Amino acid sequence: MNKDLEVRHCRVLVAVHESGGVVAAARVLGLAQSTVSETMLSLGRLLGTPVTLRRAGREATLSPAAEALLPHAQALILASEAALSAVSGQRQHILRLGTVESVSSFLLPGPLSAFRQSWPDFDVQVTIGLCEDLRRRVRRFELDAAITIDGVDRPGESEQQWNRSLASAQLGLLVSPRHPLAKTIVGQADLKSRNLLLADPEGAFNGLVRAWFRDERCQPKLESAGSVDGVKRAIQNNNAIGVLPTYSAAKELASGSLIALKVRETLPILALRLSTREPPLKSSPLHALTEQVREAFRQELGA
Q: Cα 273 to the chain's mean position, in Å?
A: 10
CATH fold of the domain at 7-86 = Arc Repressor Mutant, subunit A (1.10.10)
pLDDT mean over 191-214: 81
Percent of the chain with pLDDT over 70: 89
Segments making up each domain of the chain, as ranges: 7-86, 92-303
pLDDT at position 59, please? 61
| Cβ contacts of 296-301, under 8 Å, gap ≥ 24 | 296/107, 296/110, 296/111, 296/114, 297/107, 297/111, 297/166, 297/167, 297/272, 298/166, 298/167, 300/107, 300/110, 300/247, 301/167, 301/168, 301/169, 301/247
Tens digits of residue pLDDT in 268-285: 888 889 999 888 878 788
Q: Tell me which amino acid residue 254 is.
A: A
CATH of domain 92-303: 3.40.190.290
The string of DSSP codes covering 238-255 is H--EEEEEGGGGHHHHHH
pLDDT band per the 50, 70, 90 thresholds, residue 174: very high
Q: Are 299 and 240 in contact (CB under 8 A)?
A: no
Tens digits of residue pLDDT in 36-64: 888 999 999 998 998 888 765 556 688 88
pLDDT at position 98, please? 93
CA 15, CA 52: separation in Å to the nearest integer?
13
- Tell me which of 73 and 83 has the higher pLDDT: 73
Query: For the whole model, what pTM was predicted?
Result: 0.66
Closest CA to 140 of 286, 29, 64: 29
pLDDT mean over 117-141: 87
